[in-house]
Amino acid sequence: MKEMKKIINSPQDVVPEMVDGLVRSYPEYLKQIPETEAVVRSDQASMKGKVGLVSGGGSGHEPTHAGFVGKGMLSAAVCGQVFTSPTPDQIYAAIKAVNQGKGVFLVIKNYSGDVMNFEMARDMAEMDGIAVKEIIVDDDIAVENSLYTQGKRGVAGTVLMHKLLGAAADQGASLDELETLAKKALPHISTIAVALSAATVPEVGKPGFELADDEIEYGVGIHSEPGYRREKIKPSKELVAELLSKIDEVQHLDATHQYALLINGMGATPLMEQYIFSHDVLNKLAEKNITPVFTKVGNYMTSIDMAGISLTIFELAEQKWLEYLNYPVATVAW
């Protein structure tokens, strides 16, 4: 087992130092709520009279979620310990900080800890008279039920949900309208990943699982949760064929529909590989006469230093959704 080799100070200081570094690097977008690891827009004026949009979860998925805080996207993000849900009081602090009297909408990834803590914070807010609604994102089609999860996991598609809801909120959508939009879009977002190596949580000091030097695992989660099959590494186009066939089973990809594509590096995967993977995805979709109308390639929902990649397909069932994806934002990472 390899020693941990990381640019950190001490494992227990990872989250506070990281959040501090991020916020102080980008004061034009972000500020920290005192005595929390929650981050809100520094451009408070852009939230005036609008529904607040709050997300968050365990750290280790940078730039998610704090990198998506800013005008046109999230109002706040709450950063838990690495791979650990933030506590209800921190989430509640974020809800209060962004509440403008129009209510607050929560984007929660489907992990037991996150769901429990966000809903506890929701209860606290409602007792204070703040209207709160939520969506629980479960876009990972790889496996049902997993470590920390009942049902499917919430992964990279969450970033598309942030984008959609952020644009709608910025355009003045009500709390109910955001809920309707989120529920309508969610089943059209499907993600699946392949891992070449596991993440090393700093406090643990060794990778979450071991793969042989020539081995990959399909369907791995963003916390090193097990996937559905291990095999020898294959050329990119065969990885694409496998992952896309799984999405096709769920989405029934069809040239009469419009699609957005998100290709996501897991933290240690060079853009070189991500662009090659994208080349193969676009070729494979072209065989079905599909050309995505929107594509993003890069590190959006990472798993610390995992080598691997995820593929998200979002069927744009409504024209408005494409406008939301293209809506201008002011964030660190979109």
- Biggest distance spanned by C-alpha atoms of the chain: 56
Dihedral sign for Cα 103, 109, 113, 115, please: positive
Q: Among 101, 172, 205, 235, which residue sits at the site for its own copies (rule: CB under 8 A)?
A: 235
Active-site entry in 162, 188, 223, 279 = 223
Stretch that binds its own copies, among 6-14, 163-171, 221-229, 312-320 (CB under 8 A): 6-14
Distance CA 138, CA 144 (A): 10
Q: Given the residues 61, 65, 162, 188, select the one marked as catalytic.
A: 61
Parallel/antiparallel/unpaired status of strands 294-298 and 259-265: parallel
Q: Which of 316, 46, 301 is nearest to 191 (CA)?
A: 301
- Binding of its own copies by 275 (CB under 8 A): yes
Round to whole Å and give the CA distance between 155 and 311. 10
| Binding flag, residue 46, its own copies (CB under 8 A) | no
* Residue 257 annotated among the catalytic residues of the structure: no
Residue in this structure with the two tokens 């849900």, named with its chain if needed:
85
Q: Under rule CB under 8 A, how many of the chain's residues touch its own copies?
A: 61
Residues 21-40 that bind its own copies (CB under 8 A): 21-22, 24-26
Stretch that binds its own copies, among 44-52, 109-117, 252-260, 272-280 (CB under 8 A): 272-280
Contact 52, 103 (CB under 8 A): yes
> Which of 228, 275 has the CB closer to its own copies?
275
Residue 228 phi, psi (nearest 5):
-115, -10
Rounded to whole angstroms, the Cα distance separating 331 from 46 reads 13
Choices 146-154, 180-188, 250-258, 271-279; region in contact with its own copies by CB under 8 A: 271-279
Query: Where does the chain show beta strands of DSSP type E?
Result: 30-32, 38-41, 52-59, 76-82, 104-109, 132-137, 189-195, 215-218, 229-232, 259-265, 294-298, 308-315
CA distance 334 to 256: 28
Nearest to 131 by CA among 90, 150, 103: 103
| Segment 177 to 206, residues that bind its own copies, using CB under 8 A | 196-197
- Backbone φ/ψ region at 232: left (φ over 0), alpha (ψ -120 to 50), beta: beta
DSSP state of 154: P
DSSP 57: E
Only segment of 128-136, 138-146, 170-178, 301-309 that touches its own copies (CB under 8 A)? 301-309
Query: For its own copies, which is the closer residue by CB, 47 or 193?
Result: 193
Contact status, residue 57 vs residue 68, Cβ threshold 8 Å: no
Q: How far is the CB of 175 from its own copies (least distance, A)?
A: 32
Rank residues 188 and 296 by Cβ distance to its own copies and give the closer one. 296
* Subset of residues 203 to 232 that bind its own copies, contact rule: CB under 8 A: 213-214
Which one, 181 or 240, has the nearer CB to its own copies? Answer: 240
Q: Report the nearest approach of its own copies to the CB of residue 164 (Å).
A: 19
Q: How far apart are CA 27 and CA 13, in angstroms?
A: 21
At its nearest, how many Å lie between its own copies and the CB of residue 150? 28
Q: Is 8 in the site for its own copies (CB under 8 A)?
A: yes
CB of 179 to its own copies, least distance (A): 31
- Please identify which residue in 52, 56, 58, 60 interacts with its own copies, judged by CB under 8 A: 60
Q: Is 223 a catalytic residue?
A: yes
Positions marked catalytic: 61, 223
Chain residues that interact with its own copies, rule: CB under 8 A: 2-3, 5-10, 14, 17-22, 24-26, 59-60, 62-63, 67, 82, 196-197, 213-214, 233, 235-237, 239, 261, 263, 267-280, 282, 295-299, 302, 304-305, 307, 309, 333
